[in-house]
Amino acid sequence: MSHGKKEWFHQAMIYQIYPRSFFDTNNDGIGDLQGIIEKFDYLVELGIDTIWLSPIFKSPQADFGYDVEDYYQIDPIFGTMKDFEELLRVAHEHEIKILLDLVLNHTSDQHEWFKQSRKSRENPYRDFYIWRDGKKPKGRKPPNNWKSFFGGPAWTYDPQTDQWYYHHFLPEQPDLNYRNPQVKKEMFKMTKFWLDKGVDGFRLDVIHHIFEDPELKDNPWSWRLFPSDHSDAFLFQEHRYCQDLPENIEFVKELRTLVEQHEPPRVLLGEVLGPPERVRKYYGPNNDGLHLVFNFTFTSCPFKAKKFLKVISTIESTLPEPFHPCYVFSNHDRPRMISRVGNDERKARLLAFLQMTLRGTPVIYHGEEIGMRQARIPRKRLQDPVGKKFWFSPIPVGRDGCRTPMQWSDDKNAGFSKCNEKDLWLPVEKHYREVNVKRQQNNPQSMLSFYRALIRFRKEHDEILFGTIENITTMKKHVLTYQRTYHQQEMTILLNFSEKSIIVTKDVKISSHDLGEISVSFTTYLDRNKVMIKMKNKNELSLRPLEGIAFRGSLPS
């Protein structure tokens, strides 16, 4: 088996759909599977080739689907198994792949296993979860000091059996006990069920959390309050014993073996929070673990060429070929990309251009392609349990602001649903009259047209899809540049992070035959794609403010 072979997912363009917010066909204020089917032409025209669906399994929705009650059923708010099968068929007819979101670390407290488990200490399902006595002498305190990612202790006391159960997230999301071989057996059986149904792979929720320290040792103290992509610590502890155990790597390797028994090839895309060295581990020691692992470091990178240079250089040195990075700028847990750069569309375009011209598989979150902004949700309409709990936090931690309904038009409810506004599960973001699909659809300069062109550009250039990445550097402080090469064909990328025009001169020599002219393959301004531009003084190339360009040719050797 070759672990360096290029597969479809290495050149894929993954589009995340948060089904609750995509399109509502039954007017209950919540998006559904028929809504995705109805909008399929939109997806085809956008040019994406893979969809990752946030969880659609039966769930009490305490964490909006990331708390699964039954992994074999579709939640009725989204539709039925028939609807899912139809979606899968429609997608495959259009050669679009579907990835499901698998939550293996925990279930809902309404899952039958947990209902059984909490009944008595002798119940056959007791050991499916992590139960312990409280701290001695009286057992009134949790078994150890572990904190939940969502705040508060990671243990909840259950008076019925006078023990505590462990949940890294909400109390409604008890962690499964993978030290019990039966649990893995059941979860692999379920994974196989979906593979046999024909899904093209999985996004694996918090896969670095599968195992916990067998002795449940106390976590060491730390100064850090908020989580970050660079450190393990938050809520004043280093989360050493509740995540990233070596057993997890064995687990993902076994999962890989399971999916590799299926043809055509399927993908495992992992969510691993933490520094790049950790991300690397989940690819497996011999690239025999997960195929792709999200890299989140862009989501918190300041808008500066040198900062991005550092992130990219780190990733490239941590994940050299044949490892394949997977860059993310936003998702259903993180603030909208455009709002992180002051709602400046030129900046958002530059970042999208960066994401799609690097070596790796890009994942974009629905709505980014029209420049949807982060919404402010009034307190009484908050839905996210984290946002509700920490509504008073000066640093917004709630996730509702990036989960608002997709903006299809300037009609009522942004064309997302025909229900009464008050019945929308979340209100629409207030700029929807300017920011919506209908308005942008036929405007060749719009953000949507930009994304369509960018996705097409990526698809049409083997240097971008398969090439090496070299000469990653900055010029004149604000210009980030790198070169993608495939079979001697070179593509140079220049990104001007400054709001001023910058002339790149001596640093850039174009090795095209016709010195003094370059053929621009793409510009984020969309106005000189595929045209030859004359360069002033033979080798002076002027980049406009916040412009990104790609051209055939190279940097000096």
Please report, as ranges, the residues that interact with ligand GLC according to CB under 6 A: 63, 66, 103, 169, 205-206, 271, 332-333
Q: Nearest approach, Cβ of 67 to ligand GLC (angstroms)? A: 7
Q: Is 8 exposed, middle or buried (0-12, 13-18, 19+ CB in 10 A)?
A: middle
Instruction: Considering the candidates 24, 69, 200, 205, report the single residue annotated as catalytic.
Output: 205
Token pair of 161 as six digits: 């059996």
Q: What is the DSSP string of 48-67?
A: --EEEEPP-EE---TTTTSS
- Quote the CA–CA distance of 100 and 104 in Å, as a whole number: 12
Annotated active-site residue 271? The verdict is yes
User: Which residue from 300, 327, 322 is spatially nearest to 312, judged by alpha carbons?
Assistant: 327
The β-bridge relationship of strands 70-74 and 541-543 is unpaired
Pair 496, 543: CB distance under 8 Å: yes
Pair 208, 278: CB distance under 8 Å: yes
Instruction: Considering the candidates 271, 384, 400, 490, report the single residue annotated as catalytic.
Output: 271
Q: What is the DSSP string of 112-178?
A: HHHHHHTT-TTSTTGGGB-EEPPBTTTS-B-SS--B-TTSSBSEEEETTTTEEEE-SS-TTSPBB-T
Number of residue whose CB is nearest ligand GLC = 66
Positive or negative, the CA dihedral 438, 444, 446, 450 is positive
- Residue with Cβ nearer ligand GLC (332 or 439): 332
Token pair of 123 as six digits: 């119940």
Q: Nearest approach, Cβ of 63 to ligand GLC (angstroms)? A: 5
Alpha helices in 358-461, H assignment, sequence order: 385-389, 437-441, 447-460
Pair 78, 21: CB distance under 8 Å: no
Q: Nearest approach, Cβ of 357 to ligand GLC (angstroms)? A: 26
- Quote the CA–CA distance of 43 and 49 in Å, as a whole number: 9
Q: Nearest approach, Cβ of 105 to ligand GLC (angstroms)? A: 7
- Quote the CA–CA distance of 212 and 370 in Å, as a whole number: 41
- Residue with Cβ nearer ligand GLC (146 or 451): 146
- What are the phi and psi torsion angles at 234 (to 5°)? -165, 165
- Residue with Cβ nearer ligand GLC (108 or 523): 108
Q: Nearest approach, Cβ of 428 to ligand GLC (angstroms)? A: 21
* Residue 247, number of CB atoms within 10 A of its CB: 14
Q: Nearest approach, Cβ of 271 to ligand GLC (angstroms)? A: 6
Q: Looking only at Cα atoms, what is the longest distance across the chain? A: 83
- Residue with Cβ nearer ligand GLC (32 or 175): 175
Q: Nearest approach, Cβ of 104 to ligand GLC (angstroms)? A: 10
Q: Nearest approach, Cβ of 261 to ligand GLC (angstroms)? A: 27
Annotated active-site residue 45? The verdict is no
Q: Which residues are catalytic?
A: 205, 271
